[in-house]
Every structure is written in C-alpha cells, then in structure tokens.
Amino acid sequence: MTAALRLKPKNRAAALLAHAREHRYAIGAFNAVNLETAEAIVQAAELENAPVILQVSENAARYAGLEHLTAVCQSLREHASIPVILHFDHAETLESALTAVALGYDMVMLEGGDLDLDGNAKRLKLLSKTAHALGVAVEGEFEVTQKGEREATHLSASALEDFMKVSGVDAVAVDIGTSHKQTEKTAMLNIPHLRDLAHQTAAPLVLHGSSGATPEDLRIAIHEGISKVNVATELMLEFTRGVREQLSDPKLYDARKYLGYAREVMTQRVRTLIQNFGSSGQVL
C-alpha cells in the first residue's frame, strides 16, 4: 500500500486527488440518485477502506430535489468511517455551482461546453475564488465528454497549462475517447493524448463516461494521470438488474426487499471498481 494521506478539514478534496495523482491511483466518483444508491457507494468504500467521491449531478438534483438529496448524502458523509467527498457534478450554470458551494459540498464541477476555452477559464476563475475561500475544490471542463455517437473534442495539450493558470481549478476533465451513457465497453481510449495532457499539468485529471471503458484500459489511464473516475451508467445498470431480479417474483410487493437487494448488488460493483482503480486501503 502506498503512503496514505491524513486529511485536513479544509480542501480535503483537493488533497485527496493530489495524493491520488502522485501515487497513481484514482478515486472513484460514483453518482447517487436516491438513498439506496448513496448508501451502496459509502458502504462499498467502507468495506474497501477507500476514500470515495459521492456525486450528485444537476440532473439527479432535479429528480430528487437538491436539498433533499444533499441532506441524505451529507448525513452519510458525516457518519462514514472513511473520507467521503461530496461532489456536485455537471453544474450547468455558475449560479448552480455557487448554490452547491453554499449548501456545503466539498467539490463542484462546472460545465464549460457553452463557452470558448478562454471564456470557460475566466468563468471558472470566478467560481474558484469563492469556492477556495470556503475550502471547496473546483473541477473544470477542459474538454467535453460527449453523449452517444461522439465527436472528438481534443484540444492542443499546450493550451491546458494556460487554462489551469487562468481558471485556478483543482482538477480538470479531459476527453480521451469515452462517452456519457455508454452501456457497452466499446470505448477506445486515446492514451497518447492523455500522456500529452498529463505532461502539461500536475493537476489531477478527470475521466467522465468511464462506463464504456474496459477495466484494463482504465488501469492504464489511471497510471498515466487520471485521478478521478466518474461512474454513473454502469451503476444504474447494476442497480436496475437487481430490482428486475427481485421483481421476477410476482408475489413480491415490499419495496424494501427489492431496493435493499439492488443496493447490495450495487455495493459489490462499486467495490470491484474501487479495487480496479487502486484506491482500496488508501485510508489510515
């Protein structure tokens, strides 16, 4: 086991991710949409003695209610035996990101695809100034991970250094060949592009859309600089599989039975992912 990190109350998300980058493992960033999925994520991390990022996306907040889902996740964070970073993912506006900061999130990600690179960096600078004053880390979007049939958004690696200086972000999302909402592991990762990006910055690099990548490719990407791996679709598939298995019994009516079973199924998948990311045992 590599040297584990003793965390400080403030900026612990940035500290965790920096440690992951230095020691070539990744912290799993898993999306929660309700109580059961959030519990599965934290339980898995506790069983693996691993730091974990509990993610709430703007879409999930619209579904469950931002304050309600945040309260559930904050309670799990406070009672967990391992470091839980509460992250607001894919904020669509600066206002949404600042709301998450005010609500007590440890880290926020602001989308940047609606602006050119310079405008994106300058808007992130505004977010970083407020967030950092409160000990909150910021993830910026240097390259946009697409949905479905993808078009590469690769930018010049040399532009990343300036983007980091202007934006002041703690971690940066890059596009190396994955897509959001992939249900099959058919992504072809562009490792040479990742290496070029990693040479430009020591900041943790973030992979979105990881559900479409094979475990082997993810391990290579992590070794080359990916320090935060976002997982959503793969977990939703696993949770839904558990529900379907239980509901094959026409006599089953108790929601606790099939939701509880699905939670356990998802817990096991999160454990497997944590192991593959190399973050098991990274907590003292």
pLDDT in tens, 175-231: 886 666 666 776 778 899 999 999 999 999 999 987 878 999 999 999 999 999 999
**48 annotated among ligand-binding-site residues:** no
**193 annotated among ligand-binding-site residues:** no
For residue 45, pLDDT over 80 is answered with yes
Cβ neighbours of residue 180 closer than 8 Å, sequence gap 6 or more: 145, 146, 147, 148, 208, 209, 232, 233
89 is catalytic: yes
Whether residue 58 contacts residue 91, with contact meaning beta carbons closer than 8 Å, is answered with: yes
Q: Which residue out of 89, 170, 175, 217 is catalytically annotated?
A: 89
**199 annotated among ligand-binding-site residues:** no
Mean pLDDT of the 114-126 span: 93
pLDDT at 152: 57
pLDDT bracket for residue 42 (50, 70, 90): very high
pLDDT bracket for residue 3 (50, 70, 90): very low
Percent of the chain past pLDDT 90, that is, above it, reads 77
* Per-position b or e across 26-62, b if 16+ CB within 10 A of its CB: bbbbbbbbbbbbbbbbbbbbbbbbbbbbbbbbbebbe
Mean pLDDT of the 247-263 span: 95
Q: In terms of DSSP bridges, do strands 84-91 and 137-141 run parallel, antiparallel, or are they unpaired?
A: unpaired
pTM across the whole model: 0.91
Residue-range domains of the chain with CATH: 12-277 (3.20.20.70)
d(CA 41, CA 21): 22
**95 annotated among ligand-binding-site residues:** no
Mean pLDDT of the 149-154 span: 59
